[in-house]
């Protein structure tokens, strides 16, 4: 179904596209069915932005797609009377340019990082020194599954890598390398972590992949991990997010990024944790508050 929901009670409206894994919609639909909540999908590329295409007060809106077209549909549909994972409705229009600075200023622990706008050798050497020396991680925006995250363990390798990255029109970020660390993903809904799991590294790669061991998935993560993940998500005025973090061998935690939307289905399909149910319940609570306040 590609048209918007109609009056007659709250509806869950999912703005999606064909790049979104099928299990995402399947799990959300099942969670809605279990709560007798009508589920509707809008295919972003087929939306016509009609003036009549408005949601009713109390409707639930979520966008698992990351394409710009889906974002525009979400912005068109979002308003004060629609329940979303944004703490303020205007947040749907905000695209953070410097996420590490947002986290740092919110008091969330992050690895030291610097944006690289040039490759003047003296300034580059000074930047590497400020990050603690080589190796350093070169992070480019927009990639998924670790694509665009690279490590340079020598200065010539760093210079040549930055030459290539910048030739592609990208401004990379240099990030301090954190050795001997375990990569964690924590899925935040509202003010709690509903699922967390380690992402072990693969042989011959410093990047990680989600654990294949169901026993490593938990809905009760360590308190420090949960606190940092929630704080990181709220720093962006979000109520849902996939928080990527590192726990160093010293037990210190670092947040790498907050993904919204994120692929929550991993924790549900592999770990058996009902993340979709928690998501729908959170938006339903916001919907009821909107309707109780008589808004709309």
Residue 7: predicted pLDDT: 57
Residue 280: predicted pLDDT: 98
Nearest one of 81, 27, 33, 77 to 288, comparing CA atoms: 81
Asked whether residue 54 is domain-assigned, the answer is yes
How many beta carbons lie within 10 A of that of residue 19, not counting itself? 11
Same domain, residue pair 33 and 20: yes
Same domain, residue pair 172 and 209: no
Q: Is the pLDDT of residue 97 over 50?
A: yes
Asked whether residue 6 is domain-assigned, the answer is no
Q: Name 21's Cβ contacts closer than 8 Å, sequence gap at least 6.
A: 263, 265
Same domain, residue pair 154 and 187: no
Residue carrying structure tokens 């939307």 = 261
Which among 176, 207, 224 is the end of a domain?
Answer: 176
Asked whether residue 269 is domain-assigned, the answer is no
Backbone angles phi, psi at 187, to 5 degrees: -100, 115
Average pLDDT, the chain: 92
46 within 8 A of 2, measured Cβ to Cβ: yes
pLDDT bracket for residue 2 (50, 70, 90): very low
Asked whether residue 99 is domain-assigned, the answer is no
96-110, 141-155, 228-242: which is most confident: 228-242
Q: pTM (2 decimals)?
A: 0.92
Same domain, residue pair 134 and 162: yes
**What residues make up the domain containing 134?**
112-176
Same domain, residue pair 67 and 35: yes
Cα gap 281→255, rounded to integer Å: 27
Asked whether residue 20 is domain-assigned, the answer is yes
Same domain, residue pair 170 and 191: no
Q: What is the mean pLDDT of residues 194-209?
A: 85
Q: What is the CATH number of the domain that holds 19?
A: 3.40.50.20
Q: How many domains does the chain have?
A: 3
Residue carrying structure tokens 């590329």 = 45
Cα gap 269→183, rounded to integer Å: 20
Same domain, residue pair 246 and 219: yes
Which among 176, 198, 225 is the end of a domain?
Answer: 176
58 within 8 A of 7, measured Cβ to Cβ: no
Which secondary-structure segment (H or E) carries 34? helix 22-34
Q: Where are the beta strands (DSSP E) in 76-209?
A: 113-115, 136-139, 149-152, 173-176, 181-189, 192-199
Q: Is the pLDDT of residue 265 over 80?
A: yes
11 within 8 A of 5, measured Cβ to Cβ: yes
Question: Which 8-state DSSP code applies to residue 1?
Answer: -
Question: What would the two tokens of residue 83 be?
Answer: 């329940």
Q: Is the pLDDT of residue 6 over 60?
A: no
Q: What is the CATH number of the domain that holds 126?
A: 3.30.1490.20
Which secondary-structure segment (H or E) carries 288? helix 275-292
Q: What is the mean pLDDT of residues 183-210?
A: 90
Question: What would the two tokens of residue 69 be?
Answer: 């077209």
Cα gap 18→113, rounded to integer Å: 34
Residue 243: predicted pLDDT: 98
Same domain, residue pair 247 and 286: no
Percentage of the chain beyond pLDDT 90 is 78
Percentage of the chain beyond pLDDT 70 is 95
């Amino acid at each position: 179904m590609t048209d918007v929901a109609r009056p007659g009670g709250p509806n869950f409206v999912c703005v999606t596209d064909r790049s979104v894994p099928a299990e995402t919609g399947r799990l959300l639909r099942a969670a809605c069915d279990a709560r007798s909540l009508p589920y509707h999908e809008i295919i972003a590329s087929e939306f016509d932005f009609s003036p009549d295409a408005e949601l009713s007060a109390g409707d639930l809106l979520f966008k698992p797609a990351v394409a710009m077209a889906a974002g525009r549909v979400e912005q068109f549909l979002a308003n004060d009377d629609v329940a979303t994972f944004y703490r303020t409705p205007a947040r749907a229009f905000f695209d953070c340019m410097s996420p590490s600075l947002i986290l740092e200023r919110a008091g969330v622990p992050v690895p030291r990082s610097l944006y690289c706008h040039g490759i003047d050798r003296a300034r580059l050497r000074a930047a590497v020194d400020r990050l603690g020396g080589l190796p350093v991680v070169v992070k480019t925006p927009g990639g998924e599954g670790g694509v665009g995250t690279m490590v340079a363990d020598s200065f010539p390798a760093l210079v040549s890598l930055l030459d290539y990255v910048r030739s592609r029109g990208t401004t990379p970020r240099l990030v301090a390398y954190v050795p001997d660390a375990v990569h964690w993903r924590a899925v935040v809904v509202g003010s709690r972590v509903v699922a967390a799991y380690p992402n072990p590294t693969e042989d011959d790669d410093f990047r990680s992949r989600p654990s294949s061991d169901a026993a490593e998935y938990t809905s009760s993560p360590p308190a420090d991990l949960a606190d940092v993940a929630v704080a990181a998500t709220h720093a962006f005025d979000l109520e849902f997010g996939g928080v990527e973090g590192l726990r160093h061998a010293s037990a210190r935690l670092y947040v790498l990024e907050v993904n919204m939307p994120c692929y929550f289905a991993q924790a549900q399909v592999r770990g058996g944790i009902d993340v979709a149910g928690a998501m729908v319940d959170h938006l339903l609570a916001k919907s009821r508050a909107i309707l109780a306040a008589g808004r709309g």
